[in-house]
Structure 1
Amino acid sequence: MKEYWNRIVDKELDLRLEAFGATLIVGPKWCGKTTTAEEKAKSVLKMQDPDMREGYLATANAKPSLLLKGENPRLIDEWQEAPILWDAVRTAVDVRQEEGLFILTGSTSVDNSQIHHTGTGRISRMKMYPMSLYESKESTGAISLKELFDNSESDIDGVMSMMRIEDLIFAACRGGWPSALRKKSDAAKLIVANDYLKNVCETDISTVDGVMRNSVLAEMILRSYARNISTLAKKNSIYKDVVANVESLSMPTLDSYITAFTRLFVIEDIDAWCPAIRSATTIRSGKKRGFIDPSIAVAALGLSPDYLEKDLKTFGFIFECMCIRDLKIYSQPLKGKVSHYHDRYDLEADAVLHIGDGRYALIEFKLGSAEIEEGAKHLLKIKELVRNYNETEKQVPLREPDLLIVITGGNMAYTRPDGVKIIPIGCLKD
């Protein structure tokens, strides 16, 4: 029996099963949704079982309630193979008026055109990501994000990360895929992300909504996205990049591919935080280009750990993607949401992490120690802008940031005299 690696969402799933009749777990393929759900389920229905799939689909069309029979919580894996199951689950929850009846998993976002009811109040939605560095047992977890928010004065000085730059590069190239972590050799661990990319571009990009798409074009679009990872590149720039290598591509076609990749949880852009501290015309409200896992970008670019060790500038962008992935995972129990701030004066915060109660942190990602000073200055300047705004706009004051953090690829954590916390990514946990 294979070992189960504990996930940060385990406790959240317990809570949702206690609170709702059904819970839908969404996220990219291979991130561990089914394995996590099986830890809680008492019976399992796998819609993609090749021996049973046709029979399951026939039953779903004739009487879907028959597929819901089984000990609860009942896991219905890849439910979207028979979208009618969504409404069947919602009806069963209404009739039985119980909690923790069903767990649904899916690797694509819900297509509302194929269901009759959103499931609000009956079916709770929970997102899963590939594994963070703490879940893969690479981060020491000596510094808790929750504890930092609860006590910004907590002493972190001297806390050490065991991860070298080489370790961070390898972790980014390998990704947070549970199947990769079980492999014995480094070569086998690294091939998983490449295979993931191939599957997405050759199969999933067309099956997600039944629209046949070109696998070569799909890979070219992801490669362009990867070249622009962690930047505010406009869609026009990606379009021009791709059409330079193909005979013809319309903007609607590009939109179609990007929508499909988003529904597959392959790409995940970061929205802008646009507070009133500067004129709306000076704040860049564009999205920052991102992936659900940094290994997809590495695979799309055809890079390797050896290459990135010699090109730390490129790795800096990939490092940011890995940090954002981990921040999203660590902040999930706090109902976290990640955005970014950037204005035309080049004042920026790589990430703005808001949690559910209104508190937030301004965060910069700096791979090396030489860049820490610049990152800290940016964060302090934004805090000053908020403070100045509050002094002039007394009617609707804006909350000052609760934390200023520079997340690094270094080894030692400490708090600067100005209050900015310097934290290696290899020290963090939820």
Structure 2
Amino acid sequence: MMDYRRRVIDDVLDELVAELPAIELHGPKGVGKTATAQQRARTVMRLDDPRERELFASDPARIRAADHPLLVDEWQRVPESWDVVRRAVDDGIGTYLLTGSSVPLEAPVHSGAGRFVTFRMRPMSLLERGFAEPTVSLGDLLNGSRPEITGSSRHGTRDYVDEIVRSGFPDIHGLAPRARRHRLEGYVDLIVTRAFPEQGLVVRRPGVLRAWLTAYAAATSTTATYQRILDAATPGLSEKPARSTVTAYRDVLEQLWMLDPVEAWLPGRNHLARLARAPKHQLADPGLAAHLLGADQSALLGGGEGPVPNLRDGTLLGSLFEHLVTLDVQVYAERSEARVRHLRTADGAHEIDIIVERPDGRVLAIEVKLATTVTDHDVRHLTWLRDRIGDDLLDTVVVTPGPHAYRRRDGVAVVPAALLGP
């Protein structure tokens, strides 16, 4: 594929495909799973094609005779394909890549544990969009060496706003504004009118689901309760949807990988007491959230909230910028085999936007600030955490839309979002 745009996960796949018999890539529609898997597949079986499904049903064992590596695309359309691949792997036959845009209604008989390795693909990070050349490596920050922080970026707040509304979906990012708005609207409509029924839930009141999605987008980068989100979605509605209905909405959106919440960090070493457990809400893509909220460049730069519920402390732009940075960190952390969490004490006195946790439990703490200058007040939660967990804190970072990367005298790294890479 001559126009393929290389992704960060390609480095991981290049290493693992030769070593592992079965790898699954899952994530929302349109993030590029198929294109990425095709880079290392010799044969492609597209199970979203009725003819391919019929061929598979007539002779499932044909996957063994294919030219390998074999890509089984949209495997969830024929859930038994998972077990067919698993048996082939058990017999030592072939190398397989599977891609899926939803969780199948009927789970495979066997989980695939010990045979399948799974990765979530997300929309493109700033690096993958070709936005800038990074000078600060998340991997170096995670190794505890406290690397030198240098570099300058010519990008400012307006450029990040542009990237937020452009979306990280590869086929949407490069479109002109009008075409982009139509594609994003079509994406939302596809989810409501087709994807939900395919997951076994016919939406009888699509307007309520759309309102709930909009309220969820308004809660971006917050831990607002689901009841608050529902109330914001249905103001003045005398007959609100039942809790079971809203729970079903959320479950299906999770099955479609449309929600990408940041779970709370709960350290196993008991350094901290009384940490909040609520996840931080984020959709799969900040551009999708901006579209649902009707927030274009001028609205975000003007600071206007528009006719949408305000479930945040601070501006909508601040919440969406945090979402954009979190997306980048999620993509880069995958290469370092690290998990992304957030921290908030139960009383709300301290919170840190992003905690990146290594497998050994040591962490990198990241704050996201929309201001281009960083003050002592901006780093107070980072220094608080340093005092609490000591050497288990690998490094501290503030990510901004500012121009320069450097270390403050207190050791906190200040990094423009454009300059952060894997």
Question: Structure 2 length normalisation: TM-score?
Answer: 0.91
The alpha carbon displacement at 1:369 in A equals: 3.0
Describe the superposition over 1:115-139 as per-residue Cα deviations: whole angstroms up to 9, x where unpaired: 1111122222121111100011103
Corresponding residue SS for 1:103: strand
Q: Distance in 2 between matches of 1:221 and 1:308?
A: 21
Tell me which residue corresponds to 1:332: 334
1:142 aligns with 2:135: yes
1:235 aligns with 2:219: no
Tell me which residue corresponds to 2:90: 94
Tell me which residue corresponds to 1:428: 420
Q: 1:82 to 1:245 in 2, by over 3 A?
A: farther
The alpha carbon displacement at 1:350 in A equals: 0.7
Q: Distance in 1 between matches of 2:243 and 2:234?
A: 10
Corresponding residue SS for 1:404: strand
Tell me which residue corresponds to 1:132: 125
RMSD: 2.0
Q: 1:186 to 1:248 in 2, by over 3 A?
A: closer
Tell me which residue corresponds to 2:200: 210
Tell me which residue corresponds to 1:106: 100
- Bigger drift between 27-36 and 211-220 goes to 211-220
* Percent pairwise identity: 27
Structure 2 unaligned blocks of 5 or more: 305-314
Tell me which residue corresponds to 2:112: 119
Q: Distance in 2 between matches of 1:257 and 1:328?
A: 24
- Bigger drift between 213-222 and 416-425 goes to 213-222
- Bigger drift between 77-86 and 186-195 goes to 186-195
What are the within-5 Å matches in structure 2 for residues 24-423 of structure 1? Answer: 24-49=24-49, 53=50, 55-67=51-63, 69-95=65-91, 97-98=92-93, 101-111=95-105, 113-150=106-143, 152-157=145-150, 159-183=151-175, 185-207=176-198, 209-213=199-203, 214-244=205-235, 246=237, 247-275=239-267, 276-280=270-274, 283-311=275-303, 313-343=315-345, 344-370=347-373, 372-387=375-390, 399-423=391-415
| 8 Å Cα contact 2:144/2:394 also seen in 1 | no
- Bigger drift between 319-328 and 308-317 goes to 308-317
- In the comparison of the two structures, how many residue pairs are matched? 407
Q: 1:88 to 1:274 in 2, by over 3 A?
A: closer
Corresponding residue SS for 1:167: helix
Q: 1:137 to 1:378 in 2, by over 3 A?
A: same
Q: 1:332 to 1:299 in 2, by over 3 A?
A: same
The alpha carbon displacement at 1:91 in A equals: 0.9
Q: Distance in 1 between matches of 2:107 and 2:331?
A: 30
1:13 maps to amino acid = L
Corresponding residue SS for 2:17: helix
1:210 maps to amino acid = G
Question: Whose helix proportion is higher, 1 or 2?
Answer: 1
Corresponding residue SS for 2:39: helix
| 8 Å Cα contact 2:141/2:364 also seen in 1 | no
Q: 1:354 to 1:186 in 2, by over 3 A?
A: same
Describe the superposition over 1:364-414 as per-residue Cα deviations: whole angstroms up to 9, x where unpaired: 100113564323111001211224xxxxxxxxxxx5210111111111111
The alpha carbon displacement at 1:141 in A equals: 1.2
Describe the superposition over 1:260-309 as per-residue Cα deviations: whole angstroms up to 9, x where unpaired: 111111111111123434432xx222111111210111111111111101
| 8 Å Cα contact 2:74/2:98 also seen in 1 | yes
1:211 maps to amino acid = L
- Bigger drift between 228-237 and 270-279 goes to 270-279
| 8 Å Cα contact 2:140/2:146 also seen in 1 | no
> Which contiguous aligned blocks of 4+ residues in structure 1 show a shift greater than 4 angstroms?
none
1:386 maps to amino acid = I
Corresponding residue SS for 1:221: helix
Structure 1 unaligned blocks of 5 or more: 388-398
Q: Distance in 1 between matches of 2:154 and 2:360?
A: 33
| 8 Å Cα contact 1:141/1:427 also seen in 2 | yes
Q: Distance in 2 between matches of 1:152 and 1:187?
A: 46
Question: Structure 1 length normalisation: TM-score?
Answer: 0.89
The alpha carbon displacement at 1:143 in A equals: 1.3
- Bigger drift between 317-326 and 271-280 goes to 271-280
1:259 maps to amino acid = D
The alpha carbon displacement at 1:190 in A equals: 4.8
Q: Distance in 1 between matches of 2:364 and 2:376?
A: 18
